[in-house]
Amino acid sequence: MDDKDINNYIDEIYNLLGGSVSREEIKKIFESWLKFQYSPKTIKEKILQKYSSMRNSKISEIKEEMNSINLIGKILSIKENEKDGKKFYLGLIGDETGVIPFLLPGNYRLNQGDVIKIKNGYVKSFNDVLRIYVGKSGSVEKLNNIDIKVSRQPSTFYTIDKLKTGMKNIEIRGRVINVKISDIKSKLIYRGVIADSTGGIHFTSFGVELKENSNYKISNVTVRDFKGKPDLTINENSSVEIVKEDIDIFLKKASMDEALEKNLSYAPLEGIVVEVLDSTGIVAKCPRCGMVLKGRECPVHGEVDPVNDIMAKVIFDDGSLASSMFIESEGIEKLLSKKKDEIMKEILKTPGIPVLKEELEENILMKPFETYCKIIKKDSNRIIIYPYIFRFILEKDLDELENSLRGEL
C-alpha cells in the first residue's frame, strides 16, 4: 500500500471524526496496525470504534445494537406520548444519508424542523425497524442557526405477489378485505388481509388504523415472518393514505388446484356451492382464540367457558377441485342480510329443524359467485377455504363459468 492510499484513508477517517483527532495521531495508529497485516478497511473501523465517543455518526452507518452514538439530524416528524406517567417523543430524524425513527425523553422542548444533536444514544430494533434511543446516560441538544438537507430514500413499489419475508422500505397499493382489532397493553393493533390484483397478504398494523373495504397506498413498510408466512408490518413510521381509485382484487382469479400447487394463502376464486352440510348451525367457540370446540376443551387454552356462534360448512366447486368452505358469522350475515343474534334466535325457536342450512340453500346453492378467500393447505391434495367477500355473478358471465365447470375450456 503506497503513501497516497494511506493518506486517502487518513483523510477519510479525519473527516468522519470531524477533526476531533489530528491527522498525525490517525496516521501513527494506522501505520502501526498495517504492520500486523490488518486490511485498511478493518483498521479504519477499529479507529472509528476507538474514537466513537468523539465522532458524529451518519444515519447510513447505523446498525442494530450500536451504542455510544452521537448523531446530528433534522426532526422530520414528532409526536408526544405518555406511559406510566413519563412523557417521551416518537418521530423521525434525518440527515444527508438517510432517515431513522427515534424515541427521546420528554424533558426537552422539541418541534418538527429542529436540528438536534443526540449524544450517547443507542440503537435497537422495534417491529423489525431500527430505532435510535436516548437513555439516562444520553442527552439531546438543540442546534440553532444550522440546517441539514435530508436525503429520504424513496420506498420501492411492489405488487403483492412479489413480496417476500425480509423486504424493507417497500410501497404497495391494495384494498383491505378483512381487519380485526385487538388491544394489547392499551395499544390498538389491527390485523387482517390486504390485496391487489396479483394476490393478498396478511398485515399487522401497530397503532395505525386501517378500515375494511378501503383502498390504500402504504409506504415504508417491512415484510416479516408471522407464523411461517409473510406479514406486512405497518407502524407509526409508515405512510398510510387512502386512494380514490378502485383496486380490482378479482382481476387475476386463481383456481383451487393452482392454489394447492402454489401454496397460496389468499386468492380470489370463482365457482358454486354444490352442498350445504348438516353441520351448519350453532357452534361452540373458545372465547379467547375463536377456535371451534368439541365440549369445553380448547387445544390452545385448555378448559374454557364456550361462547355460541354460527358457522356454515359447505362444499365449494370451481371446476378444478371441490373443497370444504367454512363461512363465519360475518359472512353469513352478509349473505342473508340478517344479524347474527336474529339468526340464532330463529335456530333456537325450532330445535331439530336445520333452519340455517335451509335458508342458505335457498340463497346460495348452485348460484355462481366469486369470493376472496383465506386458503389453508391440509395435505398434498386438499385445502380448506374461509371466504371474506362474496360477489354473485351476473347473468352475462354465466356461460363462461358453466363451460369452465364442465371442463370445456
Q: Percent of the chain scored above 90 by pLDDT?
A: 48
What confidence tens digit (pLDDT) does each residue in 215-265 have? 999 998 999 988 888 999 998 778 899 998 889 999 889 999 999 998 899
Domain interval for residue 339: 256-405
Assess whether 396 and 270 both reside in one domain: yes
pLDDT at 185 over 80: no
Q: At which of 143, 164, 183 does a domain end?
A: 143
Specify which residues 396 forms β-bridges with: none
CB 363 within 8 A of CB 392: no
Assess whether 169 and 236 both reside in one domain: yes
Examine residue 22 and state whether it is found in any structural domain, yes or no: yes
Cβ-count burial of 27 within 10 angstroms (0-12 exposed, 13-18 middle, 19+ buried)?
middle
Secondary structure of residue 54 in the 3-state scheme:
helix
Q: At which of 54, 71, 94 does a domain end?
A: 54
Examine residue 30 and state whether it is found in any structural domain, yes or no: yes
Assess whether 366 and 298 both reside in one domain: yes
Cα–Cα distance measured from residue 357 to residue 342, given in angstroms and rounded to the nearest whole number? 15
Examine residue 100 and state whether it is found in any structural domain, yes or no: yes
CB 203 within 8 A of CB 193: yes
Q: Left if phi > 0, otherwise alpha if psi is -120 to 50, otherwise beta: which for 209?
A: beta
Q: At which of 143, 169, 190 does a domain end?
A: 143
Residue 232 confidence (pLDDT): 96
CB 106 within 8 A of CB 89: yes
Q: Which CATH number does the domain housing residue 294 bear?
A: 2.40.50.140
Which regions of 208-337 does DSSP assign to beta strands (E)? Answer: 215-226, 229-234, 239-242, 266-276, 281-285, 297-298, 302-303, 307-317, 322-327
Assess whether 288 and 337 both reside in one domain: yes
Residue 299 confidence (pLDDT): 85
Assess whether 64 and 138 both reside in one domain: yes
Examine residue 250 and state whether it is found in any structural domain, yes or no: no
Task: Report the number of distinct structural domains present in the chain.
Answer: 4
Assess whether 181 and 214 both reside in one domain: yes
Chain position carrying cell 447505523:
62
Examine residue 78 and state whether it is found in any structural domain, yes or no: yes
Assess whether 261 and 399 both reside in one domain: yes
Assess whether 263 and 227 both reside in one domain: no
Examine residue 248 and state whether it is found in any structural domain, yes or no: no
Examine residue 32 and state whether it is found in any structural domain, yes or no: yes
Cα–Cα distance measured from residue 220 to residue 316, given in angstroms and rounded to the nearest whole number? 38
Q: How many CA atoms lie within 13 A of 375 on its CB side?
A: 28
State the chain's mean pLDDT as an integer. 88
Assess whether 261 and 351 both reside in one domain: yes
Assess whether 100 and 123 both reside in one domain: yes
Assess whether 71 and 99 both reside in one domain: yes
pLDDT at 407 over 80: no
Examine residue 150 and state whether it is found in any structural domain, yes or no: no
Assess whether 321 and 346 both reside in one domain: yes
What confidence tens digit (pLDDT) does each residue in 29-74 have? 988 888 888 888 888 888 877 776 667 888 888 888 888 888 899 9
